Structure 1
Amino acid sequence: MALTLRRGAATVRPESERAFAMPQTITKGYKALVAEAESLIETLSVEQAQALHGSDGVVFVDLRDPRELEREGRMPGAFHCPRGMLEFWIDPESPYAKPVFSQDKRFVFFCGGGWRSALAAQAAQEMGLKPVAHVAGGFSAWKKAGAPIDTASAEKKG
């Protein structure tokens, strides 16, 4: 009889059982998903995003993890929405709905490198939020371009 060890929420099987497990076949990887999303949504360059930054009719949505915000800093004025909560915060029927998403504004999503934001913008668009876009290269490209950054959180940790 083989023992199954539990570590946290994951099940760890002995080496002898792993050899017999059927591997999963991934039919569409993240690159294909991101490329598909980018073909369906508007992608803004950092320069285009900078031109919109601070406009009354635009909400920048930062999808990064709180640890990324602390480590890298923030885009001034951006609304923070962890990626895992986006659909719940957009849907007005969700108990987690956020009023920011009911505004008649343009929503520009960004993450660390542009992959999560492409997928998020596609999901938001499919839910009916419009107009939406995402920033190519994400916060990394924003920072590299010398665009404004609030580093107060990052400085506290440093």
Structure 2
Amino acid sequence: MTRMLSFRKPDRGSGRISPQEAVARAADGSLVVIDVREPAEVAASGKAVGALHIPLAFVKMRCDPKAPDCPECLTRDGPVALYCAAGGRSQMAVQMLRDLGYDEVYNIGGLGDWIAAGGQVER
């Protein structure tokens, strides 16, 4: 039986980032933040100021740098942090971005974590 080896670039992102660090880095422009919740959730509670809104179902398609509608601010070598309502969907999105070749990807957790860390919300 032949064993297949997989070679991946080392992850610079640990998978988690403290909400406080995410708020600070987003404020200074050194981190792209993505809200992966459904449109109705964003309409009901708003989203982090400056965050992109890309529902989980569209992450693979919209965040692929080869896609024509991939936001220009997203690059495989730039840091990205994601959040949802509680952290589960954003963790799935972290894996999707890693599968697309993104190097530094973090899970903030939920919007409540962002707000508790002093992050502002826009509607």
Verify the 8 A CA contact 2:56 2:93 in the aligned structure 1. Answer: yes
| Residue of 82, 101, 111 corresponding to 1:139 | 111
Larger RCO (CA within 8 A; separation ≥ 6): 2
**CA separation of 1:41/1:126 partners in 2, compared to 1, >3 Å: closer, same or farther?**
farther
Deviation at 1:95, TM superposition (A): 5.4
**CA separation of 1:127/1:148 partners in 2, compared to 1, >3 Å: closer, same or farther?**
same
Q: Structure 1: how far apart are the matches of 2:51 and 2:19?
A: 15
Match of 1:7 in 2: none
Match of 1:55 in 2: 28
Give the structure-2-normalised TM-score: 0.76
Structure with the greater alpha carbon radius of gyration: 1
Deviation at 1:48, TM superposition (A): 2.0
After superposition, residues 8-157 of structure 1 pair within 5 angstroms as 41-94=14-67, 96-102=69-75, 104-136=77-109, 138-150=110-122, 153=123
Q: Structure 2: how far apart are the matches of 1:135 and 1:111?
A: 8
Paired amino acid for 1:147: G
Paired amino acid for 1:102: T
Verify the 8 A CA contact 2:76 2:103 in the aligned structure 1. Answer: no
Q: Structure 2: where are the runs of 5+ without partners?
A: 1-12
Deviation at 1:98, TM superposition (A): 3.7
Give the structure-1-normalised TM-score: 0.61
Deviation at 1:46, TM superposition (A): 1.6
Q: Structure 1: where are the runs of 5+ without partners?
A: 1-39, 154-158
Q: Structure 2: how far apart are the matches of 1:133 and 1:92?
A: 18
Verify the 8 A CA contact 1:41 1:122 in the aligned structure 2. Answer: no
Deviation at 1:64, TM superposition (A): 1.0
Verify the 8 A CA contact 2:20 2:118 in the aligned structure 1. Answer: no
Count of residues in Structure 1 that have an aligned counterpart in Structure 2? 111
1:26-64, Cα deviation, whole Å (9 max, x unpaired): xxxxxxxxxxxxxx9420122222221212221101111
Match of 2:9 in 1: none
**CA separation of 1:104/1:133 partners in 2, compared to 1, >3 Å: closer, same or farther?**
same
Structure number having the greater helix percentage: 1
